[in-house]
Each structure stands twice: as structure tokens, then as C-alpha cells.
Structure 1
Amino acid sequence: MCFKSKYEDKFTPIIRNIDLEENKRKILLVRFLEEVIYYDKKAIYTEFFFYFFSLIITIGSIILPALLSIQNINFSEDEDTDARYKDRVYWFSWAISLIITICNGLIQLFSLNKQFISYIGVREKLVSEGWKYLELCEDYYGGNHKDNFIKFCEEIENIKKNQTDREVGFQKKNNNANNANANNANNANNVNNYSNEENV
């Protein structure tokens, strides 16, 4: 999928025209601007899938009870025709229920709701810090771009480090949840096996 970030057009001309050595300008383009574009891309894609799955869950949750309510209604006087309609309603309801469960599972597995908020947050922090540096305001007031270059790079690295730690935290929570589900499944199987042995 082709992706074009609005921030590339905003920042690139300004970065290319500020008073900096060429190697430092390249660092800004690679280490700052590309990171902004990267997190902008992740935020947009993650937000899309979160709302897409949520929309499916919402619509499916409305349709499913309606289908279940007509499952036992007689559709015609012919028993065979009636049975076919009921069979179709049953399997259609089953499919919708499965899709709802899968979508909800994907949202929980990848923490999409938390992830896209996190990506938007880090993108906005990077953009805000970038504007402060380019405009030489707030923390960068009183110096030029050369004087504040190291300070700006340190701020960008801190933002990236905090985001990396946050993503690792999400991954650990997901792994713990998956391990807990696996243990519960194993325990359930052990109980069933034990019950079967006793019955034998």
C-alpha cells in the first residue's frame, strides 16, 4: 500500500534550508523526519484496523440477535423449505458469531486500541519537538540551530526510547495473557482426561 505522509512535505523544505552542516542536515532527515513518517504510518494503519474490526463487531452484534430471534420461525408451509431456511439462518448466525470473536480476539491480541493511541502520541511529541527546534522557541530559545542540534537529538532519542519501552511492555502483557490462556486450556484438558479415566 502506497503511503505519503503530510509531514514529509512540511518538514523537508525547512530542514534543507536551515543553517546546518550537510551531515547534520542528513541526520535530521533520517533520524527525525523518517521517524515521524514511520510513526505516522503506524498510527494511521493501526487506527484503520482498530476501527475496521470494531465496526464489524458492532454491526455483527446487532445482526446476530436479530437472526437468532427468527431462527425458529416458520418461513413457509412446506417443511423442507422451512428446514432449509432455518439451516441457512443457523449457519449464517454461526459465521457472524465466529467473525465477531475473531475480530475481538485480534484487537485484544495486538492491543490495537492502545497501540494506535501510543503511536499518535509519539508522533505528536516528535512533531512538536521538531517545530520547537526549527522555530527556535521554548527550550531552544536564545540559540541557533547549530547550538541546539545536540540537545534536539537527545530529546528525539529520549522520545524514541520511551516509545520502545512502551511497546516492549505491550508485548510482555500479550505474552503473559497468551501463556495464561494456554495454561487454562491445558488445565481444562487435564481435568477432562482425569474425568474420562475415572469413568473408565
Structure 2
Amino acid sequence: MFKTKLYHTDLIKQCRNQNRKAQLKLYNQYCDAMYNVAFRFMKNSQDAEDVMQEAFIKAFSKINTFKGEVTFGAWLKRIVVNKSIDTLKSVKYNFSELDDNYLNVVDDNNWEVADEISAEEVKTVISRLPQKYELILTLYLMEGYDHQEISQILNITEVNSRTQLLRGKQKLKELLKQKGNGTGY
């Protein structure tokens, strides 16, 4: 563990000095994981590849801002997530801001589904939801972001994040229930 951290620290120092071999080593260590993160958002291998490449370019150009407060992988993942969202927004993504005064969000932490439904089936159903719900559910469930982080990433309020998550969860449950009843997705 200590040796790995020391190795990463050395690689990052070399990257700060524009060492291409060190950049390639970091790229090779993280490219598969970052591609998977991008693919969860982009749903298309070509777009995921493009987002991943752009994220690495940005990471290497901004590596001097990496302070080591989190792991390099976590820092890079945040760049990939933000780049994915920016790409989605530039294409057609529109998050409508809700008026917080009219919202009464109930925290519902029950995420149980029927035992016969696999994680892959849940992911498939999430990918069929309207994009605003899919994005919130992906950030919350798969990427592990909390509402404060989601609100910052998407430039929405925490209340809106909670509301969209709750609505997305309701749609997800409806679709999973249809599947459970044999009516498909």
C-alpha cells in the first residue's frame, strides 16, 4: 500500500513536469475504470471513449491543481463525471429547476427490489428512464454521490436533487414491477 502510494506520488510529480511516459503509465492504470464511468453516462462506446480522452487531457493539463486531498483516482473520476455531464448538457440535456417553495420532499431510503431482479436488470431499467432521472440515479446509486455533490455537479438545488431522485426511483419501481408481473419493461 505504502509503496503504491509512493509510486503514484512519483508518477504525479513526473506528470507535473510534462513527462509523457509517466502520463502514459497513469493513463494505462486508470483508463479502463474511467471508461466504465463514462460509459454509464454516455451509453455509447464511442462517446464514452471521447469523454474519457477529454477527461485525461483536462486532468493532465490541470494536474498542478491536484493536492492529494483525495486519491488520484477519485479526483480523476470527478473530472470524468463532470465531462460526461457537460457533454450530455451540450447535446440536449435540460434540467428544469423546480420551485423549492412548492416541494415537500420525503426521504425514502427503501431501495429494495424483488430478489429475482438482478443488478444488471436494474441498470438496464435505469438506462431506459428519462435522462434527468437516469442521471440522478446513476450519480446517486452507482457513483455514490450525495445530494450536495449532485447539486453542485448539475448546478441545481439539493431539494431538486432529492425530488428528481425520488421521482426517478418511483419510475424505476414502476418499471421493475411491470417486469416482475411479466409485462416487460
Q: Which TM-score band (shorter chain)?
A: under 0.3
TM-score normalized by structure 1? 0.26
Higher helix share: 1
TM-score normalized by structure 2? 0.27
Q: Relative contact order: is structure 1 or structure 2 higher (C-alpha 8 Å, sep ≥ 6)?
A: 1
Greater Rg over alpha carbons, structure: 1
